[in-house]
Amino acid sequence: MKATLIIENIDSLITIRGENKARAGLEQRENGLINNGIIAVKDDKIIYVGEGSLPDNIEVGENTIILNGEGKTVTPGLIDSHTHLVHGGSREHELSMKLKGKDYLEILAAGGGIHSTAKATSNASFDELYKKAEKSLNTMLSFGVTTVEAKSGYGIGDFDTELKQIEVANKLNQNKQVDIVSTFMGAHAVPEKYKNNSDLFVDKLINEMIPYIAEKKLAKFNDVFCEEGVFTVEQSRKILKAGKAHGLIPKVHADEIVSLGGAELAAEVECISAEHLIGASDQGIKAMAQKGVIAVLLPGTSFNLQKGTVARARKMIEENVPVAISTDYNPGSCPSENIQLMMTLASLSLKLVPEEVIVGVTINAAAALGLENQIGSLEVGKKADIAIFDVPNLDYMIYHFGINHTDKVIKNGQLVYEKNQ
């Protein structure tokens, strides 16, 4: 078999090899490190992963691209499993409000926050949204990300805006190297006009929007912001179950600010993942473990909100909940596409060891998107999505923070990003 691309002499080849499923507990530390590693690719698939040199049955031809991994760390392409990629506008003016002590729910109650993003998203043309999201996507790729989840949710009752967001994400998925997986999040906030009767809006979601999204196959997942002042546990349950009945896999923004029982709900509805979970109860964490719900933790959001509380990641790992780490990239609570920074925050603020962190942005993130059989580890037969970092080992990558360590990114076997030398 002739290889099309080889990376040899890799100082730290982090394969994440093993079963194609989310890792929990002690298994979350198993990152399959190979020193002096070598990896071979044919077209868009991995054909060999090992130590030292290639076996005889893998040929190197004239056109084989050979990359030197000396001094480098190579990982599966990173996966950002929770983003609000497509949106209009930005909210830098909220920084000074925040510094004066106003919190997220107060800014929201004052008509700011998400409502200003909704307005900007609604006012933006398809092309404007596309260009803005494309720029963010390019930034994500430069940080080593090869697959991104993107949520709608800035229509807030305006279904055309929801559709516009999803269509932008789906067009980017077709046109760009990075894969995008779409999530419908029509239940991101209660529209102003339904403020006093949010059940009516829930009915609209269930009877009109969700069936349409599912029928047109516009999204894979259905997500709800289950939170005080947003959607109650009961409303969230209804929305998630309705999505499920139409074939949309449930995800839930749970217990982000107030401990409402969102983690318990995620387990009850058998969500593929529950997100944020800062206020998740002991019981909720146990229930998630039982049902194999993945905790998608977003330490950049906690850092940016500066409330002094973070998700209890150690508790989750102790209880055998698989943990994924993501940016939550959005214009309000986490305006950053830098997944490498989130990896450092996962380590410093959530107290995850680097081995747990890398699993959280590879196989566990893949599993949170239902893609664990295709991506998230470097093994024969899997997609050749590979990130090369200019660091000798994983610890160094997380320790030397706030900068971009990416050297090269390979997507579907093609070199798609290279650092300017």
Least Å distance between CB 321 and Zn ion?
19
Per-residue contact flags (x/-) with Zn ion for residues 247 to 276, judged by CB under 5 A: ------------------------------
Task: State the number of binding residues for Zn ion (CB under 5 A).
Answer: 1
Length of the chain: 421
Minimum Å distance from CB 210 to Zn ion? 19
Show the site string, 300-339: x = touches Zn ion by CB under 5 A, - = not: ----------------------------x-----------
- In the bound state with Zn ion, the residue whose beta carbon lies nearer, of 328 and 407, is 328
Q: How many CB atoms lie within 10 A of CB 315?
A: 13
Cβ nearer to Zn ion, comparing 255 with 319: 255
- The residue among 298 and 398 lying less far from Zn ion, judged by its C-beta, is 298
Instruction: Tell the smallest beta-carbon distance from residue 68 to Zn ion (Å).
Output: 39
Site string for Zn ion, 152-191 (x = CB under 5 A): ----------------------------------------
Dihedral (CA of 299, 11, 145, 412) sign: negative
> Looking at the DSSP assignment, which residues form a beta bridge with residue 9?
none
Tokens 């973070």 belong to 310
Please give the residue whose beta carbon sits closest to Zn ion in the complex.
328
Query: Based on CB atoms, which residue is closest to Zn ion, 144 or 300?
Result: 300
Encoding tokens for residue 108? 């929201």
CB of 9 to Zn ion, least distance (A): 40
Least separation in angstroms between residue 26's CB and Zn ion is 29
* 94/328 with CB nearer Zn ion: 328
Rama region for 388: left / alpha / beta (φ>0; ψ in -120 to 50; rest): beta
* C-alpha closest to that of 229 among 207, 253, 213: 253
Backbone CA torsion sign across 383, 177, 164, 334:
positive
Q: What span, in angstroms and rounded, lies between the C-alpha atoms of 305 and 278?
A: 12
Q: What CA–CA distance (Å, rounded) separates 403 from 173? A: 27
Tokens of residue 155, six digits = 């229509």
* H helix or E strand, kind and range, residue 179: strand 179-187
> Closest separation between CB of residue 185 and Zn ion, Å?
8
Q: Footprint of Zn ion on this chain (CB under 5 A)?
A: 328
